[in-house]
Structures are given as C-alpha cells and as structure tokens.
C-alpha cells in the first residue's frame, strides 16, 4: 500500500509539472514564417492589422504556433493555427456544432483560420476574412 501511494504521489507531481510547464512556464511560440506571410497577404488585400502570438497548450508535434490577427478598428481578432501536419490541420478545421457556416474553421495548407468568440453579428467581416485567407497560396 505504501508503494502505491508513493507511485501515486510521483505521478501527480509529474502531471502537475507537465501541466504547469505547458501552460505557464514554456515560452510563447512566435509566429512562424507562414503566419508572417499571411499577415502581409491580409494587409495587401486591405484587411489591415497585425499578428501577435498566443499562448497555447498544444504539443509541438501537432501545432507549431498559434497567433491572432487583430484587425485595425475592429473589436475581435481571429485565430491562425500553424499545424505541424496536414492531418492535424484537417482535424482542427472540422465543423463545430452550433456555429453558422460562415464562422466554421477553415484550413489552407497546414494553417487553420478560427473565429473564436465571433458571433452572428460578425458574419460579413468573417466572410471577407475567409475569402482573403482562401485566396492565399502557401509556399511548400
């Protein structure tokens, strides 16, 4: 019984350490070159704004970086997730229940566009952002 308790305590300490590192200690991943090229693309297509990195808890084997694009004079940013593989991007862009079609996540290559916290009153801007995002040709 004593060994079981010791093993349980070791497991809990390791789990809390991993959780703490992932959420609070690990440095924030900077936007990848693909995300920075997307920022230029949005600005060239008259959706003026800037990218900033977002803290995430994903494994690097799945997600390389998470960024948000803050549109100038617009209250809500949209998310850009640069996935490590096409399969992960496909998985992250799967339809989400309860969201209108215009606010569903979409993927272009290994990058996923996500409208976190956007509502029904933002559909016209979301459609403009989606059109520009899908117009982007990613470099292999």
pLDDT bracket for residue 121 (50, 70, 90): confident
pLDDT bracket for residue 120 (50, 70, 90): confident
Q: Please give the C-alpha separations between residue 24 and each of 21, 28, 53, in angstroms, as whole numbers.
A: 6, 9, 14
The Cα–Cα gap between 115 and 77 comes to: 8
What pLDDT does 140 receive?
A: 62
Same domain, 54 and 118: yes
Q: How many CA atoms lie within 13 A of 47 on its CB side?
A: 23
Same domain, 14 and 63: no
What pLDDT does 53 receive?
A: 93
Same domain, 40 and 11: no
Q: Nearest 5°: phi and psi at 113?
A: -95, 130
Same domain, 17 and 45: no
- The encoded tokens of residue 117 equal 């916290």
pTM listed for this prediction: 0.80
Q: Please give the C-alpha separations between residue 35 and each of 20, 64, 91, 112, 122, in angstroms, as whole numbers.
A: 27, 10, 19, 10, 23
Overall domain count for the chain: 2
pLDDT bracket for residue 21 (50, 70, 90): confident
Same domain, 58 and 121: yes
**Length, in residues, of the chain:** 140
Range of the domain at 4: 1-28
In a domain, 140, yes or no: no
Same domain, 24 and 58: no
Same domain, 16 and 57: no
């Amino acid at each position: 019984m004593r060994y079981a308790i010791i093993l349980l305590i070791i497991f809990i300490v390791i789990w809390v350490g991993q959780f703490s590192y992932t959420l609070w200690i690990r440095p924030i991943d900077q936007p990848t070159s693909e995300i920075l090229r997307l920022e230029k693309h949005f600005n060239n297509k008259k959706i003026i704004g800037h990218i900033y990195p977002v803290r995430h808890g994903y494994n690097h084997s799945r997600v390389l970086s998470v960024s948000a694009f803050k549109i100038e004079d617009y209250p809500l940013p949209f998310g850009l997730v640069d996935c490590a593989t096409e399969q992960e991007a496909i998985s992250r862009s799967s339809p989400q229940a309860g969201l209108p079609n215009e606010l569903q996540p979409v993927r272009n290559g290994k990058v996923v566009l996500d409208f976190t916290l956007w509502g029904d009153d933002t559909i016209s801007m979301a459609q403009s952002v989606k059109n520009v995002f899908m117009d982007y040709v990613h470099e292999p």
